[in-house]
Amino acid sequence: MKKQFLIFISTILFAVLFYDQELGVNLSIFALILLIAQLVMQHKLLRDKRAITLALCVLATSFSNAWLLSVVTVLSVVVSSFVFRYYVVDPQMKLISNAFNFVLSWPAFVARIFLIDQWFEFKKEDSKKTLVTIFSYVILPFCILSVFFGLYVSSSDMLSEWYNRYEWNIDGLIIFTIIFGFYISFVFWHIKVFNFIKIIDKNLKFSFTKEQQNTLKPSFNFIPLDFEVRSGIITLVSLNCMLLFFVIVFNVENAQQTIQHISEYSSRTHSQIYLIITSVFLAMVVVLFFFKDALNFIKNNTWLLRLTKIWIGLNGFLIASAFYQNSVYINAMGLTYKRLGVYLFLILCMIGLIYSFIKIHQKRTNYYLIDKMSWTIFYSLIFCSIFNWGNIMTNFNLQKDTIDWNYLAYDLTGNEKTLIEYYKNQNREVPEFLLKRLKYYEDLPFLSKQLYYSSAKAD
């Protein structure tokens, strides 16, 4: 099917699903229809393991978004849909390269919309006839018909009465919905892989070439390789000593700390963990710097490798310490999105350290680490979108002696059913604002619904 028809059909579908509606089931339906259309048009995708995996990501995030909408579910539906689309267009393109294509495609729409020959798929030899064809078949007939239609209607009382009775009430919202739907459909179907990004992508390799292995160049022309190795050893010895001292101090300090002043303890814990995450990120940057090229293959790099692995191991132990400290904090004060986010970042940091270790052990390029982490972040987004975290946090926090009711009631969604059951079990009156919130979501039209609220009844 030609892309111009796909663009226009998707635009109409978008207008039908989203006009005068809130985000809800409509976004999931739109994403699933786009997915099915691609699978129907290209049956070979059903035999491609990566394509099936990415299609399952779109499917999972769409159902999750239909069940309970959040910023994470909306983002995951959009990202997974475009990741699948880019894979369909060019399976060899790296994920990080497609991220740049994705970002640049939205502003590029302003220029690409006028390249009618491309997205209407006219042949090059007919390119001069494009504007003439559109003018002759669409614009000119429409203008002439409009003039005569106006004349005939104004000269006949019957036609004028009929026109006024059935006159369309076109408001600004429907026009905006159509334009926005066309914008999204155009970027999605008329996908753009920029040539300069494609050239860069082809030069990004996971392993060093034989030429790179044999041509050992220092990072800086004024520093010989032997000096660079010694510099790395001195740096890593110092860093390992400093990190070891910090790990000991961090664990001893937290072992002696008691939770007395909640605000002070909270501020201190978050500050420490943020600094640890920053430290681990910089540790990966250090690995990327020292092992970006020649130092992977120079003969006298044994001690540099050992010290780097020790450095990675100490950072891993630091992450484990921070993980434990965050667990103690949560056990005392309950779960929040921020505290769950700390877990996520710590896990990502640990995965990054593992790939850093593999990178230097197997002598891979820096891009190997970047590619692996880009996929890790993508799958982490998908994973985070398929759970009702609001309900999970509510069930956990209700088991604590001290409960932050304002946070559970006002800052979380998807937990209304649990809260109502809790109030009833405690023989307490259900707050009016919870009932009103349920009533609001229950009364929404189907396309705006979140299916969770169809099962969360007050009685």
Query: Which range, 48-52, 220-224, 306-310, 361-365, has the best average confidence (pLDDT)?
Result: 48-52
Which domain-ending residue is among 168, 184, 206? 206
Check whether 364 has a pLDDT greater than 60: yes
Check whether 152 has a pLDDT greater than 80: no
Q: Which residue has the tokens 């394509």?
A: 51
Average confidence (pLDDT) over 38-53: 93
Q: What is the pLDDT of residues 446-455, one digit of tens each?
A: 999 999 988 7
Average confidence (pLDDT) over 234-241: 86
Residue 378 lies in a domain: no
- Statement to judge: residues 32 and 173 lie in one domain: yes
- Statement to judge: residues 287 and 430 lie in one domain: no
Residue 412 lies in a domain: yes
Is 34 buried (19+), middle (13-18) or exposed (0-12) by CB count in 10 A? buried
Model confidence at 226, in pLDDT bands (50, 70, 90)? low
Residue 211 lies in a domain: no
Residue 13 contacts residue 33 (beta carbons within 8 Å)? yes
Model confidence at 217, in pLDDT bands (50, 70, 90)? low
Q: What is the pLDDT of residues 411-432, one digit of tens each?
A: 899 999 899 889 888 888 888 8
Q: Domain containing 187: what range? A: 1-206
Q: How far apart are CA 94 and CA 96, in angstroms?
A: 6
Record the pTM: 0.84
- Statement to judge: residues 78 and 175 lie in one domain: yes
DSSP string across 125-185: GGGGGHHHHHIIIIIHHHHHHHHHHHHHHHT-HHHHHHHHHH-----HHHHHHHHHHHHHH
9-27 CB burial, b ≥16 within 10 A, e <16: ebbebbbebbbebbbbbbb
Phi then psi for residue 215, to 5 deg, are: -95, 95
Distance of CA 159 to the CA centre of its chain: 54
Which domain-ending residue is among 206, 228, 251? 206
Average confidence (pLDDT) over 127-142: 63
Model confidence at 257, in pLDDT bands (50, 70, 90)? low
Q: Which of 211-225, 330-344, 364-378, 386-400 has the lowest average pLDDT?
A: 211-225
- Statement to judge: residues 129 and 278 lie in one domain: no
Domain count, the chain: 3
Residue 382 lies in a domain: no
Residue 374 lies in a domain: no
Distances in whole angstroms, Cα of residue 437 to Cα of each of 88, 93, 188, 421, 433: 41, 45, 35, 15, 6
Beta bridge partners, 207, equal 364
Q: What is the pLDDT of residues 168-181, one digit of tens each?
A: 555 678 888 989 99
DSSP element (H, E) containing 301: none
- Statement to judge: residues 178 and 92 lie in one domain: yes
Residue 171 lies in a domain: yes
Stronger pLDDT, 178 or 29, i.e. the higher one: 29
Distance of CA 427 to the CA centre of its chain: 42
- Statement to judge: residues 194 and 234 lie in one domain: no
- Statement to judge: residues 128 and 241 lie in one domain: no
Q: What is the pLDDT of residues 311-351, one digit of tens each?
A: 889 989 989 988 988 888 888 888 999 889 989 999 999 99
In sequence order, the 6+-apart residues with CB closer than 8 A to the CB of 403 are 334, 397
Q: How far apart are CA 259 and CA 97, in angstroms?
A: 46
Which domain-ending residue is among 180, 206, 232? 206
